[in-house]
Every structure is written in structure tokens, then in C-alpha cells.
């Protein structure tokens, strides 16, 4: 789509000195494209050769330009950022990001590749990798994946700094001249006699070792099939190989074929590419990493893959060398693999579907984002409001601060709740979810509005019981493995907003259950033998209690025996089962990445019985699936619950209806 034209014009308009960094094989091509626009492009080898205007070098020489101060820099074929060696990538991100104008261009993006997106974001100064992962991704046994509730936010963020388009029609322009000719992919399976030890039939390949073994053992069989195709094909042909013996055998089997190798000198490589472009070479044999990036090979309409690896990007890059704008013939790609390698082909095709889906989502998000910038629409997750009510209870679905502002002053006898811990896009995608904050300071900045409303609606002398836990830190998100002091920050915030810190209780936890759930190295038996310096006790839960200043007008008379009080007055509450919760399955949606973790009913029972009388009103501003309300109603209290997420609010209303119908005694229930 004229990517090279666009980056040349971009550099010309900015003015001053522009440095384009490209793969070696692309330099000559860019110089030729510049001549079409009457823009002189100089091939430079170090920073002393830089002059005002457009300069081009290759990635292998970028180290020689450290300290150069051009006005602008272009990374051409920037998808290569994730393929180049770590030192070059680190150098680009650390030593060239102070250049005022930076542009990354690629005609073959791999938009489902996290590394590629992260590297572009870091180079352009948008967001470092660890922050991007912490914001939008979650790590599980399958690796990093996009959080369920983060899809829209992620694509909108991506569209705010990246433009993806397949045709001018994606931006509302005429795309009729940008319709590519047909592309036909033909899979050809070659039977081989090679078998893994002990196996009679073609089996699954395990790792790179098996893949290389079968490719080496089947070269002769595949070359015979592929050479026949190349010889019979009309026009020019590109043969993509993965191994040197494959390339040597193919070049020997086809009269006039030329093998472009990595060991060739730069001059020899340029001469071979020129010969292929001019038509004097009919069949070009090479590897994806040598000529698979950036080249315009519209002169060839037939290509042959001598097998595939698991890289969809490598495969797609090669396809796009010929199947690109300017191609006038239908393109045919033959994929020649053994009967052992069909699973590799299937894996590549699966990745292709994922990449197409993500590209389409980026394009859609870009349109939406542009309209928002123009003030035409307001983009964001919109949560409606709803209300569910029964005898002595109600659930308000909406923003807790908005709903609490409708409650009367000094109207709540007790509040008990578990606030959403700092965790982006865990519960919902809405901006009103206070968990959707990037930093602790931002989170507590929002939480203060909740604390202020709690202080206003709570009766003087009455209590607010907050369930909290310390928050583990991770190397990826926080740069260190440790624990974040969340409990202490909650205490400080409540005290600063006017509450009295009344006390706290630790809730005992099973370390083995926590180790199984969290996979924390600090709790594993293997760490006990490996290096105990990493071991730490399991993380406990806390109930932190705050009292509103003033005299309590109505004394609380708990239905507790002296022995029960002795047990409950301990600084640690034992005997609370971690599985003693409401059923959370109904509140699980496809977008959720974390299981709903309702507060244990036994914990809520102790709080409600200790600090409220029957008939009084209990509030939970983060009601979730209604655990606090369930216990409160059964214990003869009134309940007001607020929940932002519609699904949770509906499940909470059903749980409270169930509690309302229970005609059993308090003692019978909790026994």
C-alpha cells in the first residue's frame, strides 16, 4: 500500500535529518522508490555520514549511530523488532528513543504477537513492556493472554498510537484499486519412510529435535516433488527453505536456479536480487530470514515452501513478498511437508486466523477512536442501573458512590465488605470499577470517595468492617517478588478521612490450599529443599474495624455466651472454613479471568452478630454475589447492597431471595 512512499514523505515533511533503519536487502529498494518521488535517499554506514535529508542504514549497523541526533527515525519492516537479537533490540529502545519523531512501519504485522506489540510500544515511548502486561494481560499455564475484560480497552489503547489498515476503504476511501489477485494455497503431503524409534506410523513431533530429524531425513523425497512443481510452473518462482541442505538440493535439481545464501557477501546478495527482479534468474532459492522481509517480488507468482516451522509470521512474510499490491497475476503457494508435519501446518493456520481477527479488531477500534477524538461519540464501557428488592433487603446495581449519595446521613448501623483489590480488568471493563487503576495512588484516590460516603452514612459510634489481604508483587508487574502493604494503606486512608482505627482480626488460612491456588514459590515444598530464603508464611485475611466518632445511641447486645466471646476476642479467628461460601459458579462469565472470591459466611456471621442488633441495617458497597446480605437477612437484619456488575447483582438478588425463604433458626444454619 505504498508504505515506503509514506515513510519517505513523512521524513521529508518533518525536515532536517531523517534516518531510516531497514533490513539489508531493503536498502536498495528504498533508494529506487525515493527516486520515483524525486527524493534522494543516501545509504549511510555510520553517524559521520548523516546529512540533512533522508538517510538509510540497516539494522546490523545501527550500533554505529549511537549518539546521533537526527530529527526523525523510521524503523522499516518494524515487525523485525521481535526477531532481531536481544542486544540490537535493547539498543534501539534505550539509545534511540530520545529522537523527537519516531515512526514504525510494517506491511506484514503480527498483531497477535505480544512481543511485537510490546517492543513497538516501548520504542515509541507509549508504555514499557512490564506495564503493558500488567495492564491488559494475565499469565497462566498457557503463557500470557489478554484479560477477558480488557479486550475493548486494549484495542482502544492500541488504536490510540497504532494504525492498522488493509485497504483505503478501512478509512472510508475508495479501495477498488487495492484489490489483490487471488491467492491459492496448496498443501502437498509427501509420504516418508522415516519413523521415530518404536513407532510404526507417523506420529506427533516433540520439539525442535524431532522437526529437524524428519526434515533432514525427507529432503530427497520433498525435493523431487518441489523441483517438479518449480520446473513446470509458468514464470518466475521463489523456493523458501529452512535448512542449507534443502536449499543446496533444490538449486541443484532445477536448471538455472540460484541459491541466495546467508554466507554470500552483501554485494553478491544485491546482485542476485537484482537478477531475480530483472528476470534473468527464473528460480530464486533462499530462506525467509534472508529475503522474507521487505522485498517486492511481484515479478514472481509461484512460491514453494520446503516445509514449515511454527512461526506464522515467517510464513506470512514470505507469502507477502509476491502477494502484494502491484501483483498482476494470481499467486499460488505450494506447502510441501511430510506426513509427520501436518500438525505444524494446522498450527500455522490457527495463528493466521487469530492474527486476522486481531487486525480486524484494531481497524474497528481505530475507527471508533478517531470518531471519539472528533467528539462524535463517547467510547467506553457503559454500565446501566437496576434495582432488586425483597423483604428487608435491596440490591442496587450501579456505581457505589452514586448510590451511597442517595442514602440519608447517619442511616447505616454496620458496613461489612471486601473492596476490589488493585487488579486491572479483573471484574469489569468499566472506568467506574475502582479496581481498574494502574497505580496504588490512583486506586486509593478513587477509594477515598467511598470512605467519605461511608463516614457520612454510618451512625455515630458505629462500625465499618473491611475485609483485606496483603497483595503479592510479581517480577513482571512490580520488578520484585514480595508483598505490598495493602492492609496498612487501608488503615491510613480510613483514619485520614475521619474514622477511628478500632481494631483488627487475622483470619487463619491453610498454607497448602493457598499454595495450590496461587502456585507461589514462597509456599512450595520444593522451595523448602531448594532455597528456603524464598519461603514465607501464607498470606492471612484481615477484618479491619473502624468506628465513626461520636456516641452510639443504641447499645448493641450480641447473642454471645462468655465462652463464645473469649473465642471471638482472640486476635486470630480459627475454624472458619475457606469453602464456606455461596455458590459462585452462576457469577462466572466467559470474560472473567479470576474466580469470584466471596467472603466466607462464617466471617460475616461473626461481624454481623458482634456489631449489630437484629432489625438494624447492614450495608455493603461492594456486594458481589450478596454474601454479606445473605447472612444479614438470615440473622434478622435489613440489608442494602450495591454492586456495579449486572451479572453479580442478579446473582446477589437470587441469593437474597433464597435467604428470605429460609425458615430455619440461626443456630441450626451455622451448625
The per-residue DSSP string of 506-552 comes to EEP--HHHHHHHH--GGG-HHHHHH-GGG--PPPPEEEEEEE-SS--
- What average pLDDT does range 579-597 have in this prediction? 61
pLDDT over 70, % of the chain: 87
Kindly report, residue by residue over 161-204, the tens digit of the pLDDT: 887 777 888 777 888 888 889 999 999 888 776 666 655 555 56
* Torsion-angle region of 177 (φ positive above 0: left; ψ -120 to 50: alpha; else: beta): alpha
Domains and CATH numbers, the chain: 3-126 (3.40.50.10810), 179-356 (3.40.50.300), 386-670 (3.40.50.150)
Q: Is the pLDDT of residue 70 over 80?
A: yes
What value does the mean pLDDT of the chain take? 85
What is the C-alpha separation between 54 and 447, in angstroms, rounded? 52
From 85, 118, 111, 112, select the one nearest 163 (Cα to Cα). Answer: 111
Least confident of 99-108, 121-130, 375-384: 375-384
Check residue 373 and give its pLDDT. 58
Give me the torsion for CA of 120, 26, 317, 313, rounded to 10°.
-30
Least confident of 305-314, 340-349, 424-433, 556-565: 424-433
CB atoms within 10 A of CB 234: 9
What is the C-alpha separation between 159 and 367, in angstroms, rounded? 8
Q: Is the pLDDT of residue 497 over 90?
A: yes
Amino acid at each position: 500500500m505504498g508504505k515506503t512512499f509514506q515513510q519517505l514523505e513523512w521524513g521529508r515533511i518533518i525536515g532536517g535529518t531523517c534516518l531510516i533503519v531497514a533490513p539489508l536487502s531493503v536498502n536498495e529498494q528504498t533508494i529506487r522508490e525515493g527516486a520515483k518521488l524525486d527524493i534522494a535517499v543516501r545509504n549511510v554506514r555510520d553517524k559521520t555520514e548523516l546529512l540533512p535529508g533522508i538517510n538509510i542504514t540497516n539494522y546490523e549497523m545501527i550500533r554505529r549511530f549511537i549518539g546521533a541526533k537526527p530529527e526523525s527515525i523510521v524503523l522499516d519492516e518494524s515487525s523485525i523488532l521481535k526477531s532481531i537479537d536481544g542486544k540490537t533490540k535493547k539498543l534501539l529502545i534505550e539509545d534511540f528513543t530520545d529522537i523527537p519523531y519516531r515512526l514504525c512501519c510494517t506491511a506484514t504485522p503480527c498483531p497477535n504477537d505480544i512481543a511485537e506489540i510490546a517492543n513497538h510500544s516501548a520504542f515509541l515511548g507509549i508504555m514499557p513492556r512490564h506495564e503493558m502486561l500488567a495492564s491488559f494481560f494475565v499469565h497462566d499455564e498457557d503463557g500470557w493472554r489478554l484479560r477477558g475484560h480488557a479486550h475493548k480497552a486494549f484495542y482502544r489503547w492500541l488504536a490510540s498510537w497504532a494504525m492498522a489498515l488493509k485497504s483505503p476503504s478501512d478509512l472510508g476511501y475508495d479501495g477498488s484499486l487495492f484489490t489483490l489477485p487471488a491467492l491459492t494455497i496448496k498443501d502437498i503431503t509427501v509420504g516418508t519412510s522415516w519413523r521415530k524409534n518404536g513407532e510404526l506410523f507417523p506420529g506427533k513431533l516433540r520439539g525442535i529435535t524431532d522437526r529437524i530429524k524428519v526434515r533432514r531425513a525427507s529432503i530427497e523425497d520433498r525435493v523431487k516433488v518441489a523441483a517438479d512443481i518449480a520446473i513446470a510452473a509458468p514464470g518466475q518462482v521463489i523456493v523458501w527453505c529452512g535448512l542449507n541442505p534443502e536449499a543446496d538440493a533444490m538449486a541443484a535439481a532445477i536448471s538455472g536456479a540460484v541459491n541466495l545464501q546467508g554466507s554470500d557477501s552483501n554485494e553478491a546478495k544485491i546482485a542476485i536480487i537484482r537478477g531475480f527482479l530483472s528476470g534473468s534468474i527464473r528460480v530464486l532459492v533462499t530462506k525467509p530470514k534472508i529475503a522474507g522481509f521487505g522485498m517486492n517480488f511481484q515479478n514472481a507468482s509461484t512460491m514453494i515452501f520446503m516445509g514449515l516451522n511454527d512461526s506464522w509470521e515467517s510464513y506470512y512474510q514470505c507469502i507477502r513478498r509476491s502477494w502484494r499490491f502491484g501483483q498482476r497475476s494470481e499467486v499460488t503457494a505450494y506447502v510441501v511437508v511430510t506426513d509427520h508435519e501436518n500438525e505444524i501446518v494446522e498450527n500455522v493456520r490457527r495463528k493466521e486466523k487469530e492474527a486476522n481477527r486481531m487486525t480486524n479488531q484494531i481497524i474497528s477500534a481505530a475507527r471508533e477512536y478517531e470518531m471519539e477524538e472528533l467528539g462524535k461519540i463517547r467510547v467506553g464501557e457503559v454500565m446501566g442501573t437496576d434495582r432488586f428488592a425483597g423483604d428487608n433487603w435491596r440490591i442496587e446495581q450501579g456505581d457505589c458512590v452514586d448510590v451511597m449519595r442517595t442514602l440519608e446521613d447517619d442511616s447505616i448501623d454496620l458496613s461489612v465488605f471486601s473492596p476490589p483489590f488493585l487488579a486491572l480488568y479483573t471484574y469489569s471493563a468499566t472506568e467506574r470499577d475502582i479496581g481498574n487503576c494502574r497505580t496504588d495512588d490512583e486506586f486509593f484516590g478513587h477509594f477515598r470517595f467511598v470512605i467519605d460516603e461511608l463516614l457520612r452514612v454510618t451512625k455515630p459510634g458505629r462500625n465499618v468492617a473491611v475485609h483485606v489481604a496483603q497483595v503479592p508483587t510479581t517480577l513482571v508487574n512490580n520488578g520484585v517478588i514480595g508483598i505490598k502493604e495493602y492492609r496498612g494503606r487501608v488503615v491510613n486512608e480510613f483514619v485520614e478521612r475521619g474514622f477511628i482505627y478500632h481494631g483488627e482480626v487475622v483470619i487463619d488460612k491453610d498454607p497448602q490450599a493457598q499454595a495450590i491456588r496461587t502456585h507461589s514459590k514462597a509456599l512450595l515444598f520444593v522451595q523448602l529443599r531448594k532455597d528456603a530464603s524464598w519461603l514465607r508464611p501464607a498470606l492471612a485475611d484481615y477484618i479491619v474495624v473502624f468506628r465513626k466518632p461520636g456516641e452510639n445511641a443504641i447499645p448493641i447486645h450480641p447473642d454471645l455466651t462468655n465462652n463464645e466471646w473469649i473465642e471471638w476476642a482472640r486476635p486470630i479467628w480459627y475454624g472458619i472454613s475457606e469453602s464456606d461460601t455461596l455458590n459462585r459458579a452462576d457469577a462466572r462469565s466467559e470474560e472473567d479471568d479470576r474466580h469470584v472470591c466471596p467472603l466466607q459466611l462464617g466471617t460475616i456471621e461473626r461481624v454481623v452478630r458482634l456489631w449489630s442488633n437484629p432489625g438494624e441495617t447492614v450495608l455493603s458497597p461492594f456486594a458481589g454475589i450478596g454474601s454479606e446480605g445473605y447472612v444479614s437477612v438470615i440473622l434478622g437484619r435489613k440489608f442494602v447492597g450495591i454492586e456495579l456488575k449486572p451479572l453479580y447483582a442478579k446473582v446477589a438478588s437470587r441469593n437474597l431471595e433464597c435467604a428470605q425463604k429460609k425458615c430455619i433458626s440461626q443456630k441450626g444454619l451455622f451448625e
